[in-house]
């Protein structure tokens, strides 16, 4: 079950993810649309876009649609991608460029005016930039993205600490704790009773899953599943992140914090006591550095 490549939350559970055909940054907003903004309306306003996107967003990458009746889809369609590595990429998001890179590969969070995933309550929706029309353009605030990226990262760090019989840093609990109760008292309580911290963290991840309306789903048929398959799916990218968080935390005796970049990652074996440990990317850089050092000392 564990990925040897150090991916967080890797498992059979998350579904594929839909990636909008157009994603861009404008000021402090991420703007996106399922099809490219210049896509011509082949129905001239006669067809509801929501009906079309349900069909269009199911077209897998690499399928040649050039002989389809709706030839425009060939250039402007949304597509779907594997969510592999999504959580690893998400916890590293720290600015607009990072958000854009993530969204182009793994899709958007789909936030509403409340800064929550629009699935949080019936009737809440995405934020359209323009009035309803063919292929609407939506906007999401960066600050909401950074908020969730920081929370996901803090949850993993706290989980790693709890698995090692520590209580998690005050800074991480500060990121996670909102609302009632004083942070200092809470952190003190968690030090004395680690089981309370575990329950608190589990509650936060359950909240994430509930916001994204994650539910079990059976899929059978279609391009990639000839056998019936069970998975968990919810509000797109946000839902998959929740499922990956859950999977990562349940295995987080293997989650460690990289001494190079400071981000959480998964490793198969415990690092040796007193030795620095690195995520795959930093590990490779460090190994190269040591090889060069050795080579130079041999030259002298
Ligand atoms: Zn809302
Ligand atoms: Zn690293």
Q: What's the pLDDT score for residue 63?
A: 55
**C-alpha 17 to ligand 1 mean position (Å):** 22
130 vs 241 pLDDT, higher one: 241
The structure tokens 């899953």 sit at: 209
Q: What's the pLDDT score for residue 64?
A: 56
Joined together, the tokens standing for residue 155 give 């949850």
251 vs 277 pLDDT, higher one: 277
**C-alpha 79 to ligand 1 mean position (Å):** 26
Check: CB of residue 212 under 8 Å from CB of residue 117: yes
pLDDT higher than 50, residue 68 = no
Q: What's the pLDDT score for residue 93?
A: 96
**C-alpha 247 to ligand 2 mean position (Å):** 21
Q: What is the mean pLDDT of residues 273-291?
A: 87
Check: CB of residue 188 under 8 Å from CB of residue 170: no
Ion ligand 2 — residues with CB under 5 Å?
Answer: 258, 260-261, 279, 282
Q: How does pLDDT run across 129-165, given as a tens digit for each residue?
A: 876 566 788 999 999 999 999 999 999 999 989 988 8
d(CA 209, CA 204): 9
Check: CB of residue 17 under 8 Å from CB of residue 80: yes
pLDDT higher than 70, residue 98 = yes
**C-alpha 282 to ligand 2 mean position (Å):** 4
Q: What's the pLDDT score for residue 277?
A: 86
Considering the chain, what is the average pLDDT of its residues? 81
pLDDT tier at 69, thresholds 50, 70, 90:
very low
CA of 256, nearest ligand number: 2
Of 143-157, 174-188, 253-267, give the lowest mean pLDDT range. 253-267
d(CA 266, CA 143): 27
**C-alpha 265 to ligand 2 mean position (Å):** 8
**C-alpha 125 to ligand 1 mean position (Å):** 7
The structure tokens 């040591």 sit at: 290
pLDDT higher than 80, residue 101 = yes
**C-alpha 189 to ligand 1 mean position (Å):** 33
d(CA 43, CA 41): 5
Outline where the chain has alpha helix (H): 49-56, 73-76, 86-91, 96-106, 142-163, 170-176, 183-192, 194-211, 236-250, 280-299
pLDDT higher than 50, residue 6 = no
2 vs 27 pLDDT, higher one: 27
CA of 118, nearest ligand number: 1
In sequence order, the 6+-apart residues with CB closer than 8 A to the CB of 200 are: 190
Q: What's the pLDDT score for residue 42?
A: 62
**C-alpha 115 to ligand 1 mean position (Å):** 7
Give the SS3 label for residue 277: coil
Q: What is the mean pLDDT of residues 11-20?
A: 66
Give me the helix-helix angle, 194-211 and 183-192, nearest 10°. Answer: 120
Q: What's the pLDDT score for residue 150?
A: 97
**C-alpha 245 to ligand 2 mean position (Å):** 19
Q: What is the mean pLDDT of residues 184-196?
A: 92
d(CA 231, CA 258): 30
State percent of the chain over pLDDT 70: 77
Q: What's the pLDDT score for residue 163?
A: 87
CA of 125, nearest ligand number: 1
**C-alpha 20 to ligand 2 mean position (Å):** 29
CA of 261, nearest ligand number: 2
Strands 264-266 and 127-128: unpaired
Ion ligand 1 — residues with CB under 5 Å?
Answer: 112, 114, 124
């Amino acid at each position: 079950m564990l990925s040897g490549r150090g991916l967080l939350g890797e498992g059979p559970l998350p579904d594929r993810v839909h990636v909008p055909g157009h994603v861009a940054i404008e000021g402090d907003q991420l703007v996106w649309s399922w099809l490219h903004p210049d896509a011509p309306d082949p129905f001239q306003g006669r067809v509801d876009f929501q009906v079309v996107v349900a069909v269009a967003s199911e077209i897998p990458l690499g399928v040649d649609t050039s002989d389809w009746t709706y030839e425009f889809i060939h250039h402007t369609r949304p597509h779907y991608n594997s969510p592999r590595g999504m959580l690893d990429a998400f916890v590293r998001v720290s600015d607009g460029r990072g958000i854009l890179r993530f969204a182009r590969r793994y899709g958007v969070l789909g936030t509403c005016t409340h800064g929550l995933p629009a699935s949080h309550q019936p009737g809440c929706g995405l934020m359209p930039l323009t009035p309803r029309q063919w292929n609407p353009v939506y906007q999401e605030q960066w600050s909401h993205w950074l908020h969730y990226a920081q929370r996901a990262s803090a949850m993993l760090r706290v989980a790693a600490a709890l698995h090692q019989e520590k209580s998690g840093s005050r800074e991480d609990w500060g990121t996670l704790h909102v609302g009632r109760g004083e942070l200092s008292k809470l952190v003190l309580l968690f030090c004395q009773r680690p089981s309370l911290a575990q329950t608190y963290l589990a509650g936060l991840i359950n909240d994430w899953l509930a916001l994204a309306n994650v539910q079990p789903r059976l899929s059978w048929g279609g391009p990639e599943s000839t056998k019936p398959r069970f998975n968990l799916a919810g509000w797109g990218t946000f839902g998959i992140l929740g499922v990956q968080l859950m999977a990562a935390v349940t295995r987080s005796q293997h989650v460690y914090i990289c001494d190079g970049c400071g981000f959480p990652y998964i490793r198969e074996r415990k690092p040796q006591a007193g030795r620095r440990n690195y995520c795959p990317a930093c590990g490779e850089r460090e190994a190269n550095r040591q090889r060069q050092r050795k080579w130079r000392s041999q030259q002298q």
